[in-house]
């Protein structure tokens, strides 16, 4: 009895399949389930943009201001460009929040020269200059973001490092000062990132760097060989456009 029933069912299936084939109806195919997009990945990329900030110098002990053509303070509104790269890893959870860590480094030229007339010991005027140049910025930051599918809005913050050069002289050759320094500070920023393919994304980001006030020794390279300690306060802001390549494990997203 069971054999008869099973045989009839099999014959019915064969009949239906043959009828569907005669009508040109393709057999049913298994559905392919595409997994949702995720920001979980490690990435590396490049970035470039512009920067601006303030550099304020104050002569703390009066050595610089006591020189013929010297000055006691200089205030610069610096600006320029930066180009660099970044790498990091992100993890998406719950299900729209993203956390990660990122390292970044950029080189460039964010600078300004100020020129002003000063009164020298003897009658007459002398022209002095002071130039500040930031040519290196680096950071290690944590970031947290909110994902809208392939869009990510995020904030970040952490520790930063800056590399600066300083130069000052006067037209009469009374002094010719130079100094370089690396300074540790902090950074905070925010950005938006869009994954235009599963592996590639583009981002627009703003970062603020605070480095506080630090004593810097300006060294006179003329025959006088004078060290002039000054306090320099600085902060920098940058806007960067970047592209990242994401390395993913598991199935293709």
Do residues 25 and 53 both lie within one domain? no
Domain range spanning residue 6?
1-30
Do residues 151 and 243 both lie within one domain? yes
Do residues 50 and 81 both lie within one domain? yes
Do residues 11 and 108 both lie within one domain? no
168: in domain: yes
The separation between the first and the last C-alpha atoms of the chain, rounded to the nearest angstrom, is: 51
pTM beyond cutoff 0.85:
no
What residues contact residue 136 under an 8 Å CB cut-off, 6+ apart?
105, 106, 107, 161, 162, 163, 182
- The pLDDT assigned to 30 comes to 64
Asked whether 109 and 135 are in contact (CB, 8 A), the reply is: yes
Do residues 78 and 134 both lie within one domain? yes
Average pLDDT in the chain: 86
Residue-wise pLDDT tens digits, 147-185: 999 999 999 999 999 999 999 988 888 889 999 999 999
Do residues 2 and 116 both lie within one domain? no
Sign of CA dihedral 236, 237, 241, 247: positive
CA angle, 46 as apex, 45 and 52 as ends, to 5°? Answer: 140
Mean pLDDT of all residues in 90-110: 96
Residue-wise pLDDT tens digits, 192-204: 999 999 999 999 9
14 CB burial (10 A radius; 0-12, 13-18, 19+): exposed
- The pLDDT assigned to 12 comes to 46
Do residues 156 and 68 both lie within one domain? yes
Do residues 23 and 110 both lie within one domain? no
Is residue 167 helix, strand or coil?
strand
- The pLDDT assigned to 1 comes to 40
Do residues 78 and 22 both lie within one domain? no
Do residues 176 and 139 both lie within one domain? yes
Asked whether 80 and 108 are in contact (CB, 8 A), the reply is: yes
Residue-wise pLDDT tens digits, 24-64: 555 556 666 677 899 999 999 999 999 999 999 999 888 88
93: in domain: yes
Domain with residue 106: its CATH number is 2.40.160.20
- Total domains in the chain come to 2
**What are the tokens at 49?**
């943009």
194: in domain: yes
Do residues 191 and 137 both lie within one domain? yes
Do residues 3 and 105 both lie within one domain? no
């Amino acid at each position: 009895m069971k054999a008869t029933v099973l045989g009839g069912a099999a014959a019915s299936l064969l009949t239906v399949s043959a009828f569907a084939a005669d009508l040109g109806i393709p057999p049913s195919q298994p559905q392919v389930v595409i997994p949702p997009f995720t920001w979980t990945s490690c990435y590396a990329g490049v970035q470039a943009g512009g920067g601006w900030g303030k550099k304020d110098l104050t002569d703390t002990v009066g050595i610089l201001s006591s020189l013929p053509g010297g000055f006691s303070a200089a205030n610069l509104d610096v600006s320029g460009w930066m180009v660099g790269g970044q790498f990091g890893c992100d993890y998406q959870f719950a299900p729209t929040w993203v956390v990660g860590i990122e390292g970044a480094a950029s080189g460039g030229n964010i600078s300004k020269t100020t020129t002003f007339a000063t009164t020298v010991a003897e009658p007459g005027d002398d022209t002095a200059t002071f130039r500040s140049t930031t040519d290196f910025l680096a950071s290690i930051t944590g970031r947290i973001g909110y994902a809208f599918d392939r869009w990510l809005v995020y904030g970040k913050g952490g520790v930063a490092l800056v590399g600066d050069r300083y130069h000052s002289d006067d037209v009469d050759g009374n002094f010719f000062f130079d100094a370089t320094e690396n300074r540790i500070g902090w950074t905070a920023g925010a950005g938006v990132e869009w994954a235009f393919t599963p592996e590639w994304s583009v981002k627009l980001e703003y970062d603020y760097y605070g480095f506080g006030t630090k004593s810097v020794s300006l060294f006179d390279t003329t025959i006088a060989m004078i060290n002039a300690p000054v306090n320099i306060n600085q902060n920098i802001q940058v806007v960067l456009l970047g592209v990242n390549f994401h390395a993913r494990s598991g199935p293709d997203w």
